[in-house]
Amino acid sequence: MRAQQTAGMTGGSAPFPILTKALGRGPESTPGTFGAASGRYRFTEYCLVPGGQYDISGTCVENPHPKDANDHNMIVKGSTEEEFLISGKTEKELEKGLRKKAVLMILGGAALSVVCMAILLAKFGLL
């Protein structure tokens, strides 16, 4: 909602010029700083609500700085297996979605292989 309000503001009421003016600098006069970006941008914002139920999948590692006896494990994005997922869906919904995506990627890869083979055979005159 705040992004929509900011996008509708004109000129001097945008947050970046107000911030740089408060800091005593202008974005165009200070080398090495970033000015306000122009163009269209799209972003997605997510919110994890305290007390909500979420499924977290990732790599389990030992916590280097545990606070108590129950704080020895952490779920992180692994170095070899980079999967890290936080979802509000149930485990069954999540598994069903991942299976569907995997099947589509396998079938898409097979179709792409057949098309590429046909192109190569046609190019060499063997089709």
pLDDT of residue 46: 77
For the record, the structure tokens of 103 come out as 């099947």
State whether residue 22 is helix, strand or coil. Answer: helix
User: What total of structural domains would you count in the chain?
Assistant: 3
Residue 15 has a pLDDT of: 54
- Looking at residue 12, its pLDDT comes to 45
Domain that holds residue 124: 90-127
| Number of CB atoms found within 10 A of residue 85's CB | 14
* 32 lies in the same domain as 7: yes
Q: What confidence score (pLDDT) does residue 41 get?
A: 76
Domain ends where: 30, 45, 60?
Answer: 45
Collapse the DSSP code of 75 into the 3-class scheme (helix H, G, I; strand E, B; otherwise coil) and give the result: strand
Burial of 89 (0-12, 13-18, 19+ CB in 10 A): middle
Which stretches of the chain drop beneath a pLDDT of 70?
Answer: 1-37
* DSSP percent split of the chain into helix, strand, coil, nearest 5: 40, 10, 50
Q: Please give the DSSP secondary-structure letter assigned to residue 11.
A: G
Same domain, 37 and 66: no
* Statement to judge: residues 2 and 19 lie in one domain: yes
